[in-house]
Amino acid sequence: MRPDGLSLLEANGGAAALEILSAHHVDLALVDVRMPQMDGLELLQRIRSSYPDVSVIMMTSYGDTATVVQAVKAGATDFIEKDVSVEAIRNRLLQAKKFWELERDNRALKSQAVSSFTFDRLIGESPSMARLKEVISQVGPSDASVLIEGETGSGKELVAQALHHQSGRRTGPFIVVDCGSISESLIESELFGHVKGAYTGAHESDMGLFRTAEGGTVFLDEVGEMPMFLQVKLLRVIQEREVRPVGSARSQHVDIRVIAATNRRLEEQVKRGGFREDLFYRLAVVTLAVPPLRERSGDMPLLSAFFLKRLRTDSTAVIGVAPETMACLERHVWPGNVRELENVIRRALVLSKGPLLQPEDLPPDFRHGKSREVELAVPETTTDRMESYEKEAVLNALEKSGGSRRQAARLLGIGEATLYRKLRAFDIK
């Protein structure tokens, strides 16, 4: 054992490495890609299949994205570029070590308290939510970078917090970086900090968000908005766990985990050339998709009860949601997802006379098929109001025609194609 707590075993090639693995307990293998006889990718595959508990870090050449991509797909935990300093390699190994220890502790603790803290706030028991929570508890304790994809308001930030709370970093900071809203000229210094006098106006030195997150998690929200020049720098930070403050000649080591979120398909942005592929693979070691609310309408009773409880004040007379109202909520398409639901409940609580929320307490366009009169007392935009009238008319016609679309179109005096378009636009099944 060396002073840094690592013990090293050297193998001269793939066959020798497999021999060592069969005789010793090994936590991590550092594998070169280019080797005679058995190359690194083949060795990686052999290790993955025979020794799934051994983490594999690949040593790649700078800019060899193709190999990096292949290695990640084949199950490499991480990769290091061969031309980085020995010190940087050592830091990465130490980090990896810290990480198994945490994992081991975590497993030992089986910490019920931690998981309930996390999942109390992430409401939903539909199959897709159950699956998401399962993955969160698997991936959370690791230091793997996670890319969270999901529509606006679907709960991406909540998922990122859950991952943080599931990890050994839970007592460390959780720092949110909104990549879409920081101005391009300031973003580098916001992230990496600056030294005093680095630019006009930099009267004091600043740590930057990455170093503020030391020992914790950095959440890169809307990562697809990050400008190209910063993507290169971010890649360096993630690879070497080092940041260089603006105006400083020296890099500083940081111990952070990176979680990123996007509401668009980042992979498509990569294909179009708007996002670096190597950075994408760095960020998306694990990808989590947060399902849109319309695909889990089974969660509606739980979610609405949760928001009722959270948003009601002592003076609200509301104790629940009427069944007709629940039906309207379950039918809605929810372009704004859970955040939209939260707003709808907040609004309904203000309007409701209690004890149950009625369809009239929902915005006009929620009430098709139920209440026939369109509420005009609450100011809406003209487009909203027109749409809700139109929707009412379409539903009325469908009811009169007994569901026949052709007849409904005739009643409305529009073509069938137009009716279909409207059905789709209003999400009428």
| Residue of the chain from 143, 149, 342, 361 that contacts ligand ATP (CB under 6 A) | 342
Q: Which of residues 300-329 bind ligand ATP (CB under 6 A)?
A: 306
Number of residues that bind ligand ATP (CB under 6 A): 16
The residue range among 179-187, 228-236, 334-342, 345-353 that interacts with ligand ATP, by the rule CB under 6 A, is 334-342
Q: How far is the CB of 124 from ligand ATP (least distance, A)?
A: 5
Q: How does DSSP assign 121-163, residue by residue? A: HS---SHHHHHHHHHHHHHTTS---EEEE--TTSSHHHHHHHH
Local structure of residue 270 (DSSP, 8 states): H
Does 157 engage in binding with ligand ATP (CB under 6 A)? yes
* Residue 339 partner contact from ligand ATP, Mg ion, none using kind-dependent CB cut-offs of 5 to 8 Å: ligand ATP
Quote the CA–CA distance of 77 and 200 in Å, as a whole number.
Answer: 42
Does 263 engage in binding with ligand ATP (CB under 6 A)? yes
Does residue 363 have a cis bond before it (omega within 30 degrees)?
A: no
Residue 204 Cα distances to 12, 103, 195, 208, 395, angstroms: 51, 39, 7, 12, 64
CB 31 within 8 A of CB 59: yes
| Residue of the chain from 6, 18, 123, 327 that contacts ligand ATP (CB under 6 A) | 123
Tokens 């690791």 belong to residue: 142
Q: How far is the CB of 313 from ligand ATP (least distance, A)?
A: 18
For residues 147 and 348, which CB has a smaller minimum distance to Mg ion in the complex? 147
Q: How far is the CB of 156 from Mg ion (least distance, A)?
A: 5
Number of residues that bind Mg ion (CB under 5 A): 1
Q: How far is the CB of 384 from Mg ion (least distance, A)?
A: 25
Quote the CA–CA distance of 67 and 132 in Å, as a whole number.
Answer: 30
Among 106, 196, 184, smallest CA distance to 142 is for 106
| Residue of the chain from 124, 140, 216, 363 that contacts ligand ATP (CB under 6 A) | 124
Does 153 engage in binding with ligand ATP (CB under 6 A)? yes
Does 157 engage in binding with Mg ion (CB under 5 A)? yes
Does 154 engage in binding with ligand ATP (CB under 6 A)? yes
For residues 40 and 153, which CB has a smaller minimum distance to ligand ATP in the complex? 153
Quote the CA–CA distance of 63 and 191 in Å, as a whole number.
Answer: 24
Amino acid at 185: S
CA atoms within 13 A on the CB side of 284: 23
Q: Which residues bind Mg ion (CB under 5 A)?
A: 157
> Where do contacts with ligand ATP occur on this chain (CB under 6 A)?
122-124, 150, 152-158, 263, 306, 338-339, 342
